[in-house]
Amino acid sequence: MSVSATTLLAAGAAFGYLDARHLLVHDYFLISALAGSTVTMYMRQRRGKLNPFYRLEERALSPSPAVHGREFLVYQGQSWSYKAAYEVVLKYATWLSERHNVRRAEIVAMDFTNKPEFLWVWLGLWALGATPAFINYNLEGERLVYCVDASTANLMLVDEEVKKVLDDPETLQKLENGGKRRVVVFDAHLAAGVATWRAIRPPDEARNTVLLPDPAMLIYTSGTTGMPKAAVVSWHKINYGAGFATRWMRLKPSDRFYTSMPLYHGSAAILGVNTALNAGCTLVLGHKFSIRRTLPELRETKSTIFQYVGETCRYLLTAPPSPDDKNHSIRIAFGNGLRPDVWKEFKDRFGIPAIAEFYASTEGTSGSWHFQTGEFGIGAVGKNGTFTNLALGRGTKIVKLDYDTELPCRDPQTGFMIECAPGEPGEVMWRLDAANIKSKFQGYFGNEKATNAKVLRDCFAKGDAWFRTGDVQRRDPDGLWYFMDRIGDTFRWKSENVSTAEVAGVLGSHPGIGECAVYGVPLPDHEGKAGCAAIVLKPTWDADRVLRGLEETVKALPKYARPVFVRVVPQLEKTGNNKIVKRALQEEGVADGAVENVWWCPKPGDGYVRFGKEDWNALRRGGVKL
């Protein structure tokens, strides 16, 4: 062997050792993606082109047929090229301007399911420089009214598919707000009318004066207080997030990005639609996730990127194995919340080369990212090497948490927070600019109290400011970050945060329930925790009588927040200050069906029925999917 060959082998071995120890390759791609998206973002601000409408326009007006003729959107067998989509968006913008007098910076509420019209209205509003407020289409009644009122919108567009929310005269009256708000049902007849409208490009003045901290849209999050809060999504988050994801996953124009996640969520809106638009690739839109339809759609559309939430992957695994399981073009599954026990099985069964897992929140100021291949790092929501820590480490910390007060612990001598040791779980905190909080954190629209609650000061130095994520994570010695749990009583079910206080409030309105405690219980082969309510009956009421009418009561809640289980108990344990203690109830859960006096509602509409050992066994076998 020559000296040069020996030298190369030695150098390769040395680099391999250093890479394994310091994650050099990982950090290179991560830092270059962060730097590239940052530079591009500020260049767009200087040129007045932060609005993604310009990304659509640039491709639609390209002289190259390979660019303007590329598919922008594919939906249920239909497709629109970038050029065709641009024409449609201009028609919608003109209709919104001429028919409804929508102007720059005006907020418009949108209550839509996944469909092309969602995108056309959204991008039409952006073309006008207006601000869409995305309403969760599962909301009804008081919660729906609250969200629309919070947006201050004077125009609300309602998808024909969810117009039943307007059937209640009281709800409709409140939404119309004494005639101050127009509520318009966007049905097929109206869509046909918009299709005949003129396509007039709104002037640049409507869009080119926005700055990075300015609001691009409102996306609602339930948070931990019960009622949804309107998180302000800035142009900074839109450009930085989509720009980073494009580079981090190394997306190409030839990629086909599939999502069936609801567009009113940040994952699909910020890191789905805007990432595809930023990359100039094709967005393949699923109307709604379905075990029966999603896999065939992925194959038929030759999608290469599959966006998920954790339970999505678990549900796909419940489908019977098929010879076609690996018959697809997916090269990356991209999303958040993929459970460690599902991760490897999902990759192996469907032959997914890479998992691009991230941790973030709609209102958050940062995040963590983990591009996972092979066997290393399964289950982690982030990965940092030596250089990433040097470049970014000072902006993220994990701190000790007092689980009784649900506040970070402070050193009694210094008054500052206490960082966790490696491997120790604690709350994740992100640094803010103390002199200009809104440069990164715009907070909740019209909710100063909730906004201020997310910011803590004097955390590690006098005068500093940090963002509370409300989530517990740990970081291991290999640089991997693992999500542990939400702080407090809030639990995750159906990819939504469920507020136990809100559920308890609704249950407490039932005339036969004296007291109740609401908590989440883990179930076999189910993501998150299912809602369980321990109730104390009032005198003269029996369990059968209460449970017969309980489903009607819980209709006041979103579907994901309605308790799956109800447990009747003689009394609830309390502290000296009458705070209900839930720990024992949570530990007992409903495991093995051995807990007495438990009812469940496995299918909405069927009411609550007794839950026992046979039902538990059916859950374990996968025979019941909630």
Which of 487, 511, 369 is closest to 425 using CA atoms?
487
- Identify whether 376 is part of a domain: no
Average pLDDT over residues 424-438: 93
34, 85: one domain:
no
479, 410: one domain:
yes
What pLDDT is stored for residue 8 in this prediction?
A: 55
Q: Is 88 helix (H, G, I), strand (E, B) or coil?
A: helix
pLDDT above 70 for 542: yes
State the virtual CA torsion across 501, 507, 513, 516 in degrees, nearest 10: -30
537: domain CATH number is 3.30.300.30
Q: How many structural domains compose the chain?
A: 5
Identify the top-confidence range among 113-122, 225-234, 306-315, 597-606. Answer: 113-122
Identify the top-confidence range among 96-110, 384-398, 534-548, 568-582. Answer: 96-110
300, 281: one domain:
no
344: domain CATH number is 3.40.50.980
What pLDDT is stored for residue 28 in this prediction?
A: 84
Enumerate the H helices of 131-234 as residue ranges. 141-151, 169-176, 188-195
**Which of residues 471, 486, 501 is at a domain's end?**
486
420: domain CATH number is 2.30.38.10
CB 60 within 8 Å of CB 67: no
CB 500 within 8 Å of CB 515: no
Residues 333-357 have pLDDT tens digits of 999 988 777 899 899 999 999 999 9
293, 281: one domain:
no
554, 420: one domain:
no
94, 231: one domain:
yes
498, 475: one domain:
no
Distance CA 556, CA 520 (A): 19
Q: Dmax over Cα atoms in the chain, in whole Å?
A: 94
575, 446: one domain:
no
What pLDDT is stored for residue 196 in this prediction?
A: 96
Which of 114, 126, 112, 133 is closest to 217 using CA atoms?
133
Going by their DSSP bridges, the two strands 426-432 and 256-259 should be labelled as: unpaired
Residues with Cβ within 8 Å of residue 102, at least 6 apart in sequence: 96, 108, 125, 128, 130, 155
Average pLDDT over residues 177-194: 96
Q: Which domain holds residue 106?
A: 48-287
470, 540: one domain:
no
Please state the pTM of the whole predicted model. 0.81
393, 539: one domain:
no
